[in-house]
Structure 1
Amino acid sequence: MEKETGRIEAFSDGVFAIAVTLLVLELHIPELKDGDTPVHLLNALKIQWPGYIAFVISFFSIFIIWVNHHKIFKQIYKRNTGLMFANGFILFLVSLVSYPSALLAKFFLSDSKQLSVTIYTGLFVLINLAFNLLWQQATLDKKLLRPGISDTAIRRLRNNYLYGFPTYLAAFIVSFFYPDLALAVCVLLWVFWAASSKKINFTETPVL
């Protein structure tokens, strides 16, 4: 069967690339005065450590999202309007990651830390919902999927994203009270996604 999703995947890859590039723009070069020494530069760089953490977390979150997006589209061979809009919703949310990442970098050491973390974790709740929506749209009509894909593989991929939702939601709720813990939960979930994505095998024969 000819794969019809080439343009969707190419456009999506471009959006992911731009989203990652936007993160770099939030890393600012410190401003020094005449006569400042390397020690002053080092101290100025140290002050910006929340920005570095936000960049690393956001970069790898987008990378893991891209990996999972790639794996989903290895199973999708045809497209319809519902699937294209669901994919567009994911891309819309991914393109927003740089903004809460910038908020996190700027306000992590301030009294607005909790709100910045809440906005950040809330975005990933929406991204998880968007992935669930994409896979739901793809599986409503099995003719859109790779020929020969088993019901077991369909359920396994569905569960991979369904299980993530309560965890992201928990991180969002926890962020109102313990923002550091909320971020840690998100990071651990991304590690889980990275580990679980390579374990998913879509070549098994259907269970009869």
Structure 2
Amino acid sequence: MEKETVRIENFSDAVFAIAITLLVLDLHVPSSEIIKNGSDLWNYLKEDWASFLAFTLSFFSIFIMWVNHHKIFKQIYTRNTAIMFSNGLILFLASAVSYPTALLARFFDGEASSTVVAIYTGIFVLINLSYNLLWFLASHNRKHLRPEITDLAIRKIRNNYLYGFPTYLIAFGISFEFPKIALLISMLLWIYWAISSGKIDISKS
């Protein structure tokens, strides 16, 4: 079977690269007028810790999104309009991550922390749904998948994304009362997606 998704993958790679680059724009170098010595610089960096936290969280989140996207398209060989638009939804949400990241960097250490964490975790709920949608559209008709993939492999990939969804919902739900715990759950989800991405890279199992 000829692989028809090369252009989709190339375009997606470019969007992920831009989305991940946009994150660094919220890391600002302090003015030389307020930094007179090493102590001033160190104090500035300590006060700006939320920006570094937000950047790190979002960088690895988008990176893991890209890894999963790359591996899922190793299983998808042909495309239709629905697959292309569901992929577009993933790219739209990946591009939008920079905005809640900026909110998190600016307001996490203040009275609006629960709101910004809710917005931040909420976008990842939508991202997880978009991945579920992409795989559903690609796998419900096997003609879009590489010929040798098995039913077991299809179920493993489906379950991989479905199992992550309730965790995202929990993080979103508790963010209104316990924003720091919700953010910690988001960090733990890195590990989950990094490990579970191996389930997507399936040959004939």
Q: TM-score range by the shorter chain?
A: over 0.9
Distance verdict in 2 for CA 1:201–1:100, change over 3 Å: closer
Q: Which amino acid aligns with 1:33?
A: E
Distance verdict in 2 for CA 1:160–1:30, change over 3 Å: same
Count of residues in Structure 1 that have an aligned counterpart in Structure 2 = 205
Contact 1:23 1:59 in 2 (8 A): yes
Contact 2:139 2:145 in 1 (8 A): yes
Q: How does 1:105-120 map to 2 (within 5 A)?
A: 105-120=105-120
Contact 1:100 1:120 in 2 (8 A): yes
**5+ long unaligned stretches in structure 1:** none
2:84 corresponds in structure 1 to 84
Distance verdict in 2 for CA 1:32–1:111, change over 3 Å: farther
Distance in 2, Cα, partners of 1:34 & 1:188: 37
Distance in 2, Cα, partners of 1:101 & 1:35: 26
Distance in 1, Cα, partners of 2:40 & 2:47: 11
Shift of residue 141 of structure 1? 1.6
Query: Within the alignment, does 1:150 sit opposite 2:147 as a pair?
Result: no
Shift of residue 154 of structure 1? 0.3
2:56 corresponds in structure 1 to 56
Distance in 2, Cα, partners of 1:21 & 1:93: 15
Query: Within the alignment, does 1:30 sit opposite 2:30 as a pair?
Result: yes
Distance in 2, Cα, partners of 1:35 & 1:67: 39
Tell me, what secondary structure is at the counterpart of 1:74? Answer: coil
Shift of residue 185 of structure 1? 0.9
Shift of residue 34 of structure 1? 6.7
Q: Which amino acid aligns with 1:14?
A: A
TM-score, L = length of structure 2: 0.96
Contact 1:32 1:41 in 2 (8 A): no
CA deviation profile, 1:67-126 (whole Å, cap 9, x unmatched):
000111000000000000000000000000111001000001111111010000000000
1:4 corresponds in structure 2 to 4
1:14 corresponds in structure 2 to 14
The runs of 4+ residues in structure 1 deviating greater than 6 Å are none
Tell me, what secondary structure is at the counterpart of 1:163? Answer: helix
Question: Alignment identity in percent?
Answer: 61
Distance verdict in 2 for CA 1:19–1:34, change over 3 Å: closer
1:44 corresponds in structure 2 to 44
Larger CA deviation: 134-143 vs 6-15: 134-143
Distance in 2, Cα, partners of 1:180 & 1:44: 22
Contact 2:64 2:193 in 1 (8 A): yes
Shift of residue 204 of structure 1? 2.7
2:65 corresponds in structure 1 to 65
Shift of residue 202 of structure 1? 1.8
Distance in 2, Cα, partners of 1:82 & 1:72: 16
Distance in 2, Cα, partners of 1:195 & 1:140: 25
Q: Which amino acid aligns with 2:177?
A: F
1:99 corresponds in structure 2 to 99
Shift of residue 199 of structure 1? 4.6
Q: How does 1:175-190 map to 2 (within 5 A)?
A: 175-190=175-190
TM-score, L = length of structure 1: 0.95
Q: CA RMSD in A?
A: 1.3
CA deviation profile, 1:113-147 (whole Å, cap 9, x unmatched):
11010000000000000000000110122100011
Q: Which amino acid aligns with 1:154?
A: I
